[in-house]
Amino acid sequence: MSGWILPQAELGPFLQTVREQMQVFAPTAVEAEGLCALRPLNGAIGPPDTEARRTMLPPKKLLLPNNETLFTFDAEGYHPAPVDDAPTVLFGLHPCDLRAISLLDRFFGARIADQRYVQRRAATRLIGADCLPDDACFCHSVVASEPRDAVYDLFLWSLEDRFWVTVNGESGAALIDLDRKRFRHPRPADRLALQRRQQLRARMLENGRARRQARGDAQWSWREWSAACFTCGACAMVCPTCVCTTQEEHPSLDGASGERVRRWSACLYQNYDRAAGEHHFRNERMERARNRFEHKMLGCGVGEEGVKCVGCGRCVVNCPAQLPLGEALERAAGNLQRAQAIKAAAANPGGEES
C-alpha cells in the first residue's frame, strides 16, 4: 500500500493550513453535553478527538441538514433558498461513515439528483481515520469496516506517534500539496506498524461479531420486538444512511408569502405514511418496525437494493428502550448472506465457474 507518513505532532499544523483554504469540521469532545460532535475546528474548541468512537449525529447532517428551507414564495413567484456550499473538509470520519456517504451519494446523486445535496457534496472533501471498534460496532458484518468499501480523499491509519496517510485521487493529492513539507515517505518500520494495526483491528472486529452472534441465538419475533419499541425515531435520527424526510409549507400571516421547509423524518412515525381519509400503509407498530429494519438490510425498492446499514452502532447506543438492535441487524445480515448464497447456487446449479 502506498502512502505518506504524517507525524502526529504535525496533524494540528496541517489542519491549520487546510483551515486557511476551507472550513474544517472534526470530532470534538463536548464535555458540557457529554458527547462527541462534528464541530468547526477552531482555537476556541480545541484539537480534534482522533480517538473518538463515534459522533452522536452522523456527518449526513452537514450534507443533508435536518431542517432547511427549500424555497420561499411571494406574489412575485418562487425563490430558491441559497445553499451553503462553502469549501469544507470533514475530518476524522470512520470507514462506516465514509461508506454511508457513498450510499448517500448514490441515493441523492443518481437518477433524479437532489441538487442541494449534490452542490454541498461537490464542495466537500473527506479525510477518514481508522478506529478500534467497541461492542456496539457491527460494521464488519455489513461490509463497511474498510476504507476500500467507501469514498474518501485522504485516510489516516493511526500508528501511535504518526499516521499512515492513504491518498485517493487528485482531490486527495491536492490536500497533501497544501502543506507537503509536513509529510515524509514511509520506511519499512512504518509498513510493519501499519500491518500490525490492521491485524489488531481485524481481530477486534471478528471477536465482536462472535460475541453478538452468541448473544443473538435466542429467537425473537417482530411482534415481541416492536412491543418494546417506543417508535420514538431516535435510531433514525442518528442513522447515517436514513433518508426519510417530510416537507412543510409555512405561510406567513398575511397569506401572501411563505416558505417550504424540509425536515428529517422517520418511517417509524405513525404519521409518516398518513394518507387522505386517515389511511395508513402501515398502521401497526410491528409493521413499521419491520419495514424500517428490512429496508435497512434489503434496500428501498427497485434500483436501491442492497444493505443500507453501515454498522456504526449509533442506533444501538442511542435506543432509549435498549433494544438489541446490533444482534437483530447481525441476524438480518446473516439471513441476507444465506439468501444470496442460495440464489447464486440456484442460478448456477452445476457449480461451474463462470
Out of 103-117, 118-132, 288-302, pick the least confident.
288-302
Which residues, 6+ apart, have CB-to-CB distance to 56 below 8 Å?
35, 36, 37, 238, 314, 318
Considering only residues 76 and 146, tell me which one the structure prediction assigns the higher pLDDT: 76
| Model confidence pLDDT, tens digit, residues 123-155 | 999 999 999 888 888 888 887 888 887 899 999
**Beta sheet of 23-30, edge-to-edge order:** 4-7, 162-167, 154-158, 124-129, 88-93, 23-30, 35-40
Quick check: pTM over 0.95? no
pLDDT at site 304:
65
The neighbour count for residue 159, using CB atoms within 10 Å, is 20
> In the predicted model, what is the mean pLDDT of residues 198-204?
90
Cβ contact 260:350 at 8 Å:
no
Which range scores top for mean pLDDT: 222-226, 260-264, 323-327, 348-352? 260-264
pLDDT at site 181:
95
Q: In which element (H, E) is residue 163 found?
A: strand 162-167
Q: Give the separation between CA 333 and CA 339, rounded to whole angstroms.
A: 10
Percentage of the chain beyond pLDDT 70 is: 87
| pLDDT band with cut points at 50, 70 and 90 for residue 353 | very low
C-alpha cell at 12: 494540528
Closest by CA to 179, choosing from 48, 3, 11, is: 11
